[in-house]
Structure 1
Amino acid sequence: MLIVCAPAWITPEVHGQMRTQPVAELDGQVGLGLMLRKLNMVGSFMMMTAHPDDENNAILAMLSHGQGVRTALVSATRGDGGQNEIGAELFDALAVLRTEELLAAHRFDGAEQYFTRAVDFGYSFSIEETFEKWGREEILGDFV
């Protein structure tokens, strides 16, 4: 019996990677089935969040692809007042990055994306302060 032992530096390194295709790019029977599911549905679902990363993409995907419901995410801000622990982007550059991330996520969850005119001014402790900065009627009008 021959036993071969190879040092770790000789064995090839194996990386597992799951490749997924955005639902928006599906074609054939699967893509057609998802589109047909929406034809018989008259319902719409709108999720409202203060800024990016507050949304629940699983619910959006389940309603959009699973139930055929038209789904939309309305974010009050683009997240320009948030923190960025993994990059150098801040303020406007961070808002662009967060917007791109949301749009990329919607290629998978199927939701439409909308924003209000509100600017992210950082963390707030009160609704009154938020309405003072955003304008109560203006921001509520944007959501409606």
Structure 2
Amino acid sequence: MAGAVRLIRSGSLSDVAEYAYAATAPADARFIHLAGSCPLEADGSTAAVGDFAGQAAKCVENLRVALKDAGAALEDVLSTRVLVASSRQEDLVTAWQVVRDAFGAHDVPSTLMGVTVLGYADQLVELEAVAAVTD
């Protein structure tokens, strides 16, 4: 199952980025487009209210569950988008560091965005992902 995703690094672009600039999957891969992973507990309440890092960790935890249910894992992710409800760069970086650390050496292409508001009460972070697996 794992191993379909190939990360691509560019020697022509800045090496400051903490992620690969692109990723590919083979033609026979099954793509998994995941809804935004939110920092929600099983009862529907928002986890870690007021805590960017805590909410990012809960988003990663919920993403792992959704990936597993789809027959995939973090290592199968092609790209992510991290949405943070803040205009403060330090808040975005706080959430990003949690997501980056969760992916470890599988440093997928990622976009980090500050947004005005997210969908659930007290929600500060949301994590979108696309994965690919070969069955």
- Common fold, TM-score beyond 0.5? no
* Largest Rg, 1 or 2: 1
TM-score (norm 2): 0.37
Flag the structure with higher strand content.
2
Higher relative contact order (CA 8 A, sep 6+): 2
TM-score, normalization by structure 1: 0.35
